[in-house]
Amino acid sequence: MRLAASFLAAVFLVAAPSTSAKGGGALLFDRAAARAGDRLAVSAAYELYPRGYVVWLVRLEHAPRFFTIPYTGVPRPAPGPPPRRPGLTRLGVTEPDGHGGARLEFRLPHLDPGRYTLVVWCRPCGTHWAAAAPNYIVNWRTVLRVL
């Protein structure tokens, strides 16, 4: 019985939505690592509001500040205005990609080396969240290693 419960919990966590509880897809980096000045992009295959997401970079260890974790243990978007905390680097606003998704291309600014993830604010939804947390990485493409 305990093994079955553990298996179901693992399946639930893998199937849980990652960064885009309001939209249909997670914003993902187009590569795993980059250096300052490199051009890269984040994109989502399907989004309800492709022009409505403001995106920032944040060090992975600071990501838990940008979502709530209710009693279920699954991170959820936090209600409220855009996040205004130290350590955020604004990248821009997503645009439609022409295929029902969203995309944001940017040049990586100078940042300290380390692992970073995205903080996303959905204008139409009035919520914000982080794409990953140190102990909750659903998809490796939600983390960028800055060299």
- pLDDT tens, position by position, 7-16: 323 333 333 3
> 18-146 — its CATH code?
2.60.40
- pLDDT tens, position by position, 19-72: 334 444 689 999 999 999 999 999 998 888 888 899 999 999 998 887 766 666
Q: Which of 111, 106, 55, 59 is nearest to 83 (CA)?
A: 55
CA distance 94 to 53: 6
Q: What is the DSSP letter of 133?
A: B
Domain ranges of the chain: 18-146
* pTM confidence score: 0.79
